[in-house]
Structure 1
Amino acid sequence: MTSTAMPSPFCCDFDGQERTTASGTCFAVERIIKEPLQWKPAALDWLDSDLELVYGIGPQTSAKLRAAGYTRLDQLLDHPRFGPDAARTLEEIRERNILALLNRGVRDADLLSFYKQQHLVFMDIETTSLYNTQPLFLIGMLFAEDDHLVLKQFFARHYCEEKALIEQAYQELAAVPVMVTYNGRSFDAPYLNARAAAHRLEIRVHHIHLDLLPHTRRKYRSSLPNCRLHTVGETLLGMDRGDDIPGNLIPSMYHDFVQTQNPDLIRSVLEHNAMDLISLARILPDLA
C-alpha cells in the first residue's frame, strides 16, 4: 500500500475536482440535494424552567419547589439554599457554556437549541477496516443551506492521499460548531483522530458532537429489528436504498479500485455514503 501512482481518468468520470493541501492532493465531489433540512431549533425557554439543572434539585425537590411557586430559575435567585447555583446556571445558559450545561445533565440533543441549521454538519466516513490502524478513504459531509442540502465527499484515490484527505476534511469541519453522526462517538470521530495522529497531523476540531445512535436506540429499540442506519432509513423514513452495497464489501471494493482506478467500483460506495448522510438529516427532526 505504498504506490504513489496517481492515474487521472478518475477525475474525468465524476463531477468533482482535485483539491490540494500542504500534504498533497485528494478528490472532492460536491452536489446539491434538493430538499431542505426539516429540523428547526427549539425555543430556549424550557432551559430557564428546568429547575433540576441546579445542583441539589432532583425530581422530588423540583416538584416541591414548583408547588411553592418556583417555576423558573430566575425565581430561585433569592432562595436561601438554591439561589447561588441558580444564578450560576442562568449565567451558563446566557454564556452558552456547553460543557458546564452538559455537566448539569442537559442532553446533547437539547443543546442544539443554541444553534441554527447552518451550524450543523452531518459526517460519515468509509474505511478499509474496523481498526483505525488502517486507512480511511472517504469522508462525507452534509451541510444545510436555505432550501437545500450540500453534499461534500472527500476521497482518496490512492492510499497516499489519505493525509491530504484528512487535512481537507478538518478544514471543512472547522467551519461549523456542531457535528452530527451515527455511532460517530465510538467509530467515526476516534477513527478520524487516530488517522490524523498516524500522519502526525496535530489538528483537532472541538465540536458539540451529537451521535444519533443512542437517541435512536432509546426511542426505537423495542420497535425495530435493529438500529442500523439502513434499517432506520427503510423502516422509519420509507427510504428505498435499492441496490445499496453491504458495508462489509466496501473495503475490498476500495482496494480493487486502487489497483484498477475503475470508477465503477467506487461509484456505489459514494452513493452508499451519500444515502447514509441523507438518512441522518431526515431522522434528526424526530430525535432532537
Structure 2
Amino acid sequence: MTSKKYENHEKDMLKSILSQSLTSAKPSDETIAKAHENSGINSDDPLIKLKYIYMDKYQDQKLEDLEGSEIIENESGETLKITKKEKIDFSLDKQDFEKNLLCDLKLLPKIGPATEKKLKEEGYEDINSLLNHEKYKEFAEMTIETIESGPHRDIFNLVRKNSNSKGKMLKCAGELEYDSFKFMDIETLGLSNVPIILIGVAEMDKKGKSITSTQYLLRDKVEELAVIDGYLSHIDDNSTLVTYNGASFDVPFINNRCNYYQLNNECQPFHYDLIYYARALWKDKLPNCKLSTIEKHIFNINRADNIPGSHIPGYYDTYLKEGNIGPLIPIIEHNRQDIVSLAQFLMRMYEKF
C-alpha cells in the first residue's frame, strides 16, 4: 500500500514537471521566460524580435477579429477583405491647367523651343492665336479640341509627345475627378512567379475629404485568385491608377498572375507611376528615390514597425506554419500606409511642379 508521504511526493514531482511545459495550466515564470528567449522575442535582430512580439500579442486572435475585416466571396472563391475609412484633405489646383496648356506652343507638331520663341515674338502668345496662322491653323484646331474635350489619355499623350515635361504630365491629373483615383500597392512572396499575398487599393470621395482603403488578404495560398478578383472589382475604364514603381513591378506582376490563372484582365486603366515624377523632382537632392527615402527626407515620415519587402515572405511563412496571425499585422499596416500615403504624395508632387 502506497504511503501518504509517497503520494504527496509523487504529486509534487508531477506538478514540477508540468510547470516546465507551456501547455500546462500554470507554467512557471522560468518556463515562460525560456520560451520567450527561444522564440526570438529577445532576439538582437529587431525584425525577428518584432515578429515574435506580434505573435505574442495576437496569439489568441483570428483574422476575422481585426477591425473592418470580413470574409467575402466572389466568382473566384472566398478571401478576407479589410476596410478602413479615414479623413483626408486632398486637393489639386485645377484653375490654370487648361490655360497653361494653351500657352505651350510646343504642344503642336513641328514646333520646338526655337520656333515657339520666334512665334511669340511675332505676337502668337497662345495656341488660340495660331488659329490665324496659315501654317499651324489645322494643328492648332486639333490641339485645342483635344485639350478642351479629349479623353484624359489623349491629353496626357499630347503633352508627353510634344512637350515631354514631367511637370506638365503630372498637372494633367488636375482635370480628373478625385473619386477616379485608385491608389494601389501589392505585397508578394518574391520578385516573380510567386503568389500575391495582399493587394491594397485606396479610393477617395468626390470632394477629396475621405479615403477608404480596401485590402484583400491571402489567408491561404489557394485564395490568390479570389484576392486578385477582389482587387479587379475596383477597376474600370474610368479608373486612374496611382502607384509607386507600379509600372515596373505591381502592374506586370498582377498581369502575370492573371495569365497564370487564365483570368481575363482586359481593363488597363490610365496609370500615374509617381516614381518617375519623384526622380524628376529629387534625384539630385536625395541618396535615392526609394519610397522609404522619399517618406523620410521629403515628408518627414518615420514609420514604426516597418517591414522591408525582403522579410515579408518569412513573416508570411511563419503565419502559415504557426497558425498565428501576428506576423501578418505589420504587413497589413505597411500596405495600408503605402496606399493612403500615395494620395498625399500625389498632391505634394503636383504642388512642387
Q: Which residue of 2 aligns with 1:149?
A: 211
Q: Which residue of 2 aligns with 1:117?
A: 178
Query: What is the identity percentage for the equivalent residue pairs of Structure 1 and Structure 2?
Result: 28
2:62 to 5, 9, 29: 9
Q: Deviations over 1:205-228 (max 9, x none)?
A: 222200010111111112112211
Unmatched runs of 5 consecutive residues or more in structure 2: 1-60, 161-167
The answer (yes or no) to whether the contact 2:237–2:268 under 8 Å persists in 1 is: no
Q: Deviations over 1:20-59 (max 9, x none)?
A: 1111011111112233224444532212222111100111
Q: Which residue of 2 aligns with 1:137?
A: 197
In the aligned structure 1, how far is the partner of 2:169 from the partner of 2:194? 30
Q: Deviations over 1:215-251 (max 9, x none)?
A: 1111111211221111111211111202211221012
- Which has the larger displacement, 228-237 or 254-263? 254-263
Alpha-carbon deviation of 1:176?
Answer: 4.7
Q: Which residue of 1 aligns with 2:121?
A: 67
In the aligned structure 2, how far is the partner of 1:113 from the partner of 1:122? 16
Q: Give yes or no for the alignment of 1:232 onto 2:294.
A: yes
In the aligned structure 2, how far is the partner of 1:168 from the partner of 1:248? 25
In the aligned structure 2, how far is the partner of 1:283 from the partner of 1:191? 23
* Residue aligned with 1:243, SS: coil
Structure-to-structure mapping, 1:157-236, within 5 angstroms: 157-174=219-236, 176-236=238-298
Q: Which residue of 1 aligns with 2:29?
A: none
* Residue aligned with 1:72, SS: coil
Q: Which residue of 2 aligns with 1:241?
A: 303
Q: Which residue of 2 aligns with 1:18?
A: 71
In the aligned structure 2, how far is the partner of 1:185 from the partner of 1:245? 22
2:319 to 251, 257, 262: 257
The answer (yes or no) to whether the contact 2:237–2:267 under 8 Å persists in 1 is: no
The answer (yes or no) to whether the contact 1:193–1:204 under 8 Å persists in 2 is: no
Q: Using structure 1 for the length normalisation, give the TM-score.
A: 0.91
Find runs of 4+ consecutive structure 1 residues off by over 4 angstroms. none
Alpha-carbon deviation of 1:179?
Answer: 0.8
Structure-to-structure mapping, 1:10-49, within 5 angstroms: 10-41=63-94, 43-49=97-103
Q: Using structure 2 for the length normalisation, give the TM-score.
A: 0.75
Q: Give yes or no for the alignment of 1:52 onto 2:52.
A: no
Give 1:120's aligned amino acid.
F
In the aligned structure 2, how far is the partner of 1:11 from the partner of 1:216? 37
Give 2:70's aligned amino acid.
Q
Q: Which residue of 2 aligns with 1:3?
A: none
Alpha-carbon deviation of 1:175?
Answer: 7.3
* Residue aligned with 2:248, SS: helix
In the aligned structure 2, how far is the partner of 1:200 from the partner of 1:26? 19
Alpha-carbon deviation of 1:99?
Answer: 4.1
In the aligned structure 1, how far is the partner of 2:159 from the partner of 2:71? 44
The answer (yes or no) to whether the contact 1:37–1:282 under 8 Å persists in 2 is: yes
In the aligned structure 1, how far is the partner of 2:301 from the partner of 2:234? 28
Give 2:200's aligned amino acid.
G
Q: Deviations over 1:145-203 (max 9, x none)?
A: 24222111111111111101111101112275211100010001111111111111112
* Residue aligned with 2:348, SS: helix
Give 1:15's aligned amino acid.
G
Alpha-carbon deviation of 1:79?
Answer: 1.3
Q: Which residue of 2 aligns with 1:5?
A: none
- Which has the larger displacement, 264-273 or 99-108? 99-108
Q: Deviations over 1:226-277 (max 9, x none)?
A: 2111111121111120221122101221222233332111000011111222
RMSD: 1.9
In the aligned structure 2, how far is the partner of 1:11 from the partner of 1:176? 32
Give 2:182's aligned amino acid.
V
Unmatched runs of 5 consecutive residues or more in structure 1: 1-7
- Which has the larger displacement, 138-147 or 207-216? 138-147
Structure of higher RCO (CA pairs closer than 8 Å, 6+ residues apart): 1
